[in-house]
Amino acid sequence: MSIGERSTGPDSHDEANGDGVAAPSGVPSPRRPGRPRALPLDEQRRVVIDAALRVFAADGYNGATIERVAREAGTARSSVYELFHGKDDLFTAVVEDAAERVVTHLSEGFRASEDLALRDFARHSFTVVFDMVERDRDAITVLLNAERGGIEPPMASVAETRRRVLGEINRHTGAARWADYGIEVGSASVMLSLMYFGMGETVAIRQVDDPAWDREALIDLLTEFTVGGLFRLGLHPEVLAAASRRGPDDLDDA
């Protein structure tokens, strides 16, 4: 049974016609009003991935089952297996889909703040992170659990998500932006991006978990902490220079 179809029982091949008389075997019956058609394949996948995201977020990778996902999606377990080979395949699809949503949200948010002054840029960027956690909490939960939980099989897509997120942040908060304010961060910009995003992500998750924390006050705190810290680093270029140095394995052979 495909998503969007309804089983009519073991004798469904002899469906009654409009007069209540069973149609002969082999003669197609007219589609009855209200009988749902099967969804297109891409829409079936969408329904199952959305359902699986909720299940993985609530139950974790180990606690989730295909049967539970099928119930959440309103379909048969066999239909889920037709779309995905098993739980590993389904989980990979969920992670990749969640990653795409997170990266798209951050990219759009950071682009919207490109022309802002430093303090306004920092505040807007933290707001983007808070919005992301609030609006797509299940996606964030699945990604973080996969990244931190050491689950099997190893999820290369989770590592790729983190790489893409940090690359996007560094593209907007990298050396060129800080140089505009006289702060030469060099290759330490990658580590600063990691600190910048990690701090915002952690505080945003805490605030969503406990709404008693004032969201706007926390964003202000993060903003002032970041801007003040950057300008203080500008007074200590030796710290940034040391953080920019890489190990011998990263140096050219020449």
Same domain, 139 and 194: yes
Tens digits of per-residue pLDDT, 150-195?
Answer: 555 546 666 777 777 777 777 776 656 666 666 666 667 777 777 8
Which CATH number covers residue 73? 1.10.10.60
Range of the domain at 130: 94-238
Residue 226: pLDDT over 70: yes
Same domain, 144 and 45: no
Total count of domains within the chain: 2
User: Which one is predicted more confidently, 237 or 132?
Assistant: 132
How sure is the predictor about 119, in pLDDT bands with cuts at 50, 70 and 90?
confident
Residue 126 has a pLDDT of 93
User: Which one is predicted more confidently, 82 or 35?
Assistant: 82
Is-cis flag, bond preceding 153, omega within 30?
yes
Residue 9: pLDDT over 60: no
User: Which one is predicted more confidently, 36 or 75?
Assistant: 75
Same domain, 144 and 170: yes
Same domain, 224 and 100: yes
Residue 151 has a pLDDT of 55
Whether residue 124 is contained in a domain is answered as yes
Q: What is the mean pLDDT of the chain?
A: 77
Same domain, 67 and 193: no
Same domain, 58 and 105: no
Whether residue 27 is contained in a domain is answered as no
Whether residue 46 is contained in a domain is answered as yes
Which CATH number covers residue 179? 1.10.357.10
Whether residue 32 is contained in a domain is answered as no
Mean pLDDT of 137-150: 79
Whether residue 5 is contained in a domain is answered as no
Mean pLDDT of 202-210: 92
Indicate the range of 116-125, 156-165, 188-197, 230-239 predicted with least confidence: 156-165
Whether residue 51 is contained in a domain is answered as yes
Residue 15 has a pLDDT of 41
Same domain, 106 and 225: yes
Residue 54: pLDDT over 90: yes
